[in-house]
Structures are given as structure tokens and as C-alpha cells.
Chain A
């Protein structure tokens, strides 16, 4: 399992996970602003 725990692989997984969650959060942020304003 060492291959999965290498810094670069975790970076790749982290960037991907961060990006997609961030996307949903950012999108939701605007949708809520529309809803309330």
C-alpha cells in the first residue's frame, strides 16, 4: 500500500477531492445567496 501513501499520490487525491467539494460548496454558496436575496 506504500504506493497509495506516497506524497504525490495523496496530493493528487487531495487536489481532486478538494476541488470537487469546493465546487459544490462554491456553487451552493451562490445558490443560497440567490435564494435569500
Chain B
């Protein structure tokens, strides 16, 4: 869903910036109020910021389509820290993602609208409606993830279509872009369903009020982390192996954008272009930095500080 510079026409760049700015301003105010009321809100915000940043560039190859894409993470964050603060976090994440050659400077507004606003609020809305209908918290969170993911890409398609509508009807273009995204994004939305449900389940059990319950060290965290890492490598390698016959596993963002660029005779540019090796290093470093943040705040939120006998007066 990362639209690069050079694709959207100037008016739309401005429109999306204004829409995003309104939400960001409200979000900043809400963050200020919440941190004043509850200082423990800050670590939750930090962990979600790092999570949204990394989840929304975490590419997974999809076997059938031979392309890869990423979930968005904003529905999960919205359920945990609220809608408007999530918009702020996504916008910050989008700025940092420029260093991973994702998105563009002029399109931060458009990308913040799709992932930050639509992904966030459609997920949150789904969650709240399903909860009111008596659906379990975990299932409601899962559906929130699924809906938020799909609608993020539907919005990106709409932004591309509107931005290029003079070439062809916006609806026709929207269908073309949606067809480009859908085959890869639907499996990713299922993944988003699973991890959103999983994270909410974990927090509901371990930290129902999100910030006060301390986890007993029943499971060895490094062991769980190592298992998750190996499982993820397995999923990626298997996906790549099965998908390689169908395509070159390039990101759907650029696949769809190439179509958009060809249709409009415009050229997609990105402020920071990386070589293949540079991209590999940048992605690994991004994973490392975001992981360190999440690990640090995970310990702060979920692991009890062990006091020595001397401290236990």
C-alpha cells in the first residue's frame, strides 16, 4: 500500500495530506491527554509504534501469486491504544519507512490515509461492532485485522484510481488495482487475522487492563522467540519456493504501481533508492531496531522486575 512519489497528481497529494493532518492533530492531543492521565500509556505506545513500523514492511511471499506483500498492523494497534493515536504512529512509521525505499515524501498523506486512517478505523469499527454482537474478543480482533488489512489496500487502489482518473474512469482503474492487490493481499489478511487475534488473546489473558498485570515467567521467552523465528523462516522459505514458479516474488506495491505508472505514462520515484544489497541490509537493520524496541518494551510491560532478597524489605 506504499504509494511512491510521482504517481499521484498534485491536487490529490494535497487532499490526502490535509485529511491525514486532521487525524494526526487529534491523535497528538489524545496521546498527550492519555499520557498525562496514565504514564504507563507511553510504553504501550512505543511498543505499538515499533510493531506497526515493522509489521507494515514485513514482506511475506505468497505461493500462488508469486508476489509478496505485508500486513498493516494498525487494527491491532487501534484496539490496544485507540484509533487516533494509531494514526500518529502510522504516520511516523511511514516517515521512517522512506529509509527502506517504501513510499514517498509527497505520498505520506495518502499512505497515512490508507494504512493509518482507513486500516485503523475500519479495524476498530469491526472490533467494536462484533463485540457488541457478543462475538468473543479474540474472534472480533481477528476480523478487525482482516477487514483493516483488506480495506487499507482497497483505499490505496482508490487513491491510485483517483489520482489517475483523467486517463480512464476511476472505478475501472480501482478494479484494475484491486485485482492487482487482492490475490496477494487476501492471504496476508488471513495472516493479519491470526496475529491480531493472537496478540489480543495474549493481552486479554496476561494484561487485561493492558498495563498493570505482570507475567510470571512460566515460559522461557528466548525459547518461544527462537521457535517463532524458525517458524517464520520456514513460512518464508516455503512461500518463496512454492511461489517462485508463479512470479519473481517482487512486492505487490511495485507490481501494481508499475501498472499505474504505465497507464499514466508517469514515473514512480522514491526519495531514497537502494541497491539490492543495500535493501537487504536496510531491512535486516530495520528488523533489528524495531525488534530491540519491541523486546525492550515487552520486558517492561510483561515481565516482572525481579527483586533481590536485599530489596524485599
Contact = CB atoms under 8 A, between A and B. Distances in A.
Contacts of B290: 18-19, 22
Interface string A16-37: 1111111111111111001100
B68 A12 contact: yes
Contacts, number: 145
A11 B287 CA distance: 10
Given A23-B225, A23-B294, A11 B300 contact: no
A11 B279 contact: yes
Contacts of B280: 7, 10-11, 14
Interface in B274-313: 276, 279-281, 283-300, 303, 305-306
A26 B295 contact: yes
B54 interface: yes
Given A7-B280, A8-B68, A15 B54 contact: yes
A21 to B, nearest CB: 6
B202 interface: no
Contact of B240 (A3, A16, A23, A34): A3
A10 B237 CA distance: 10
Interface in B52-89: 54, 57-61, 68
B59 A15 contact: yes
A1 to B, nearest CB: 10
Contacts of B61: 8-9, 12
A8 B303 CA distance: 35
Interface of B: 54, 57-61, 68, 221-222, 225-226, 228-229, 232-233, 236-237, 240-241, 243-244, 248-251, 276, 279-281, 283-300, 303, 305-306
20 contacts: A3-B244, A7-B276, A8-B59, A8-B251, A11-B59, A12-B68, A12-B240, A13-B233, A17-B229, A18-B284, A18-B285, A19-B54, A20-B228, A20-B291, A23-B292, A26-B292, A26-B294, A26-B295, A26-B299, A27-B221
